[in-house]
Amino acid sequence: MNIWPQIEADDIGAEIFDLAAEIFPICRSITGDGVRQTLDILGRHIDLARHEVPSGSPAFDWTIPNEWVIRDAFIKDKAGRRIVDFAASNLHVLNYSAPVHATIALAELKQHVFTLPEQPDLIPYRTSYYAERWGFCMSHKQLIALPEGEYEVCIDSELKDGSLSYGEHLHRGNSDREILLYAHICHPSLANDNCSGLALLTCLARHLQGRTTRYSYRFVFAPGTIGSLAWLSRNEDKVPAIDHGLVVSCVGDGGGPTYKRSRRGIAIIDRAMIHVVQHSGFANQKLLDFSPYGYDERQFCSPGFNMPVGLFQRSAFATFPEYHTSADNLDFIRPEHLASSYRMISDALEIIEKDWTPLNLSPKGEPQLGRRGLYADTGGNKSTGQNAMALLWVLNLADGSNSLLAIAERSGIAFSDIARAAGRLREAGLLAEA
């Protein structure tokens, strides 16, 4: 029996896409109401504990920053027309921008505008969290078309004493050992990065509800970098119980799949994700070694923690042209890609749940399978041939030192086929748990 219900790809894809679309318009940042509104929506699907960490609180070498409030922002031309409007796209405001209200010349305005000259039609996504400044983002095409003259600039924002918000959901399994699943919640209207990850993990948590699992599952939705630091600094006592973990982002495009190993490199989560990616059938699969650059796996894999946490993505961040631009919108992510990402993640978790180490109880020579009805259905077609190979591999490697995952890796046969074969051999009395 599978842990996760076998949902039709069309159904799960639509379910994740709809949730991603619902949270897409919200202007999120590392702090502020955008994060809270997003947690409100995710909390309608799963039981989500909310945490507020006050501004100024320490998080290891960092300090929780002030809370960002954004009400409105615009650039008006001489005629008083809004030529850049926050209401049209929240990417227009430098995320976490300080307030400003002034009338300035074009030359001065240009010093506060970010564009993408190489992608002149797109609005970039830019942030300034730890250096206080104000700014706008717009298409390069629009910037170069602006006539000389004066412009009224207004960013109606505030950086105030408040808090950083994050959400947490715990699914209790039979054991207190945990699997950590993490998605960052700090990006504004960007669909792949990371409405897709937030929506996918929420749906995964929802489908776990009422299911019996071996592991407990901890889902954390928190801002990038400062959010994982805040979580870690307040939950250091929980870290030793986490046996496996995955950071999930950019799971709605058709690239990859990409798996970046944990710092350990050979953790079970690394092996399970690599096995799934290699059996995914996708031509563009990428398996990356750990590097100290990326998303929140950097904090989980810092030397003081060295947790077994990897990163799963479709296209790797910063490798697709839509990355951190207005083109990372709801047209860029597709339900079918969300569905296959969901499938790969749940397959890897299924491996972790179902792995065990078998011992061959008849190890001297091959046991006679035909007499036990285990060879009876090998009629020569390819799939039954594969089943026979799975039986033979399990029997041969079941010396008490190889888990089913290790047998799947060495044989090149999918874990699900190896697990099924081991189950049949166990029923036939040929295997026991080592």
The contact set with Zn ion (CB under 5 A) reads 193
Q: Which one, 199 or 405, has the nearer CB to Zn ion? A: 199
DSSP for 287-328, written as a single string? EE---S-SSTHHHHTSTTT---EEEEESSPTTSSTTTTBTTS
Dist CA 83 CA 102 (whole Å):
15
Q: In whole angstroms, how close is the CB of 144 to Zn ion at the nearest point?
A: 27
Q: In whole angstroms, how close is the CB of 346 to Zn ion at the nearest point?
A: 24
Task: List, in order, residues 6 or more apart from 266 with CB less than 8 Å away.
Answer: none
Contact assessment for residue 18 and residue 12, using Cβ atoms and an 8 Å cutoff:
no
Q: Which one, 15 or 193, has the nearer CB to Zn ion? A: 193
95 bridge partner residues: 127
Q: Which one, 127 or 278, has the nearer CB to Zn ion? A: 127
Q: Which one, 260 or 279, has the nearer CB to Zn ion? A: 260
Q: Which one, 223 or 358, has the nearer CB to Zn ion? A: 223
Dist CA 258 CA 350 (whole Å):
19
Q: Which one, 59 or 183, has the nearer CB to Zn ion? A: 183
Dist CA 350 CA 364 (whole Å):
32
For residue 180, what are the CA distances in angstroms to 123, 221, 229, 297? 34, 11, 15, 11
Task: List, in order, residues 6 or more apart from 20 with CB less than 8 Å away.
Answer: 191, 195, 196, 198, 199, 252, 330, 333, 338
Q: In whole angstroms, how close is the CB of 190 to Zn ion at the nearest point?
A: 7
332 residue type, one letter: F
Q: In whole angstroms, how close is the CB of 313 to Zn ion at the nearest point?
A: 11
Q: In whole angstroms, how close is the CB of 193 to Zn ion at the nearest point?
A: 4
> Pairing between strand 163-171 and 178-184?
unpaired
Task: Give yes or no for a cis peptide into 387 (omega within 30° of 0).
Answer: no
Q: Which one, 20 or 349, has the nearer CB to Zn ion? A: 20
Q: In whole angstroms, how close is the CB of 124 to Zn ion at the nearest point?
A: 12
> Pairing between strand 82-85 and 100-105?
unpaired
Name the phi and psi angles at 132, rounded to 5: -75, 115
The residue with its CB nearest to Zn ion is 193
Q: In whole angstroms, how close is the CB of 187 to Zn ion at the nearest point?
A: 5
Rounded to the nearest 10 degrees, how much is the dihedral formed by the CA atoms of 264, 270, 274, 280?
A: -150
Q: In whole angstroms, how close is the CB of 324 to Zn ion at the nearest point?
A: 6
Q: In whole angstroms, how close is the CB of 68 to Zn ion at the nearest point?
A: 17
Q: Which one, 193 or 253, has the nearer CB to Zn ion? A: 193
Dist CA 388 CA 379 (whole Å):
10
Q: How far is CA 61 from the centre of its chain?
A: 25
Q: Which one, 258 or 387, has the nearer CB to Zn ion? A: 258
End-to-end Cα distance, the chain: 22
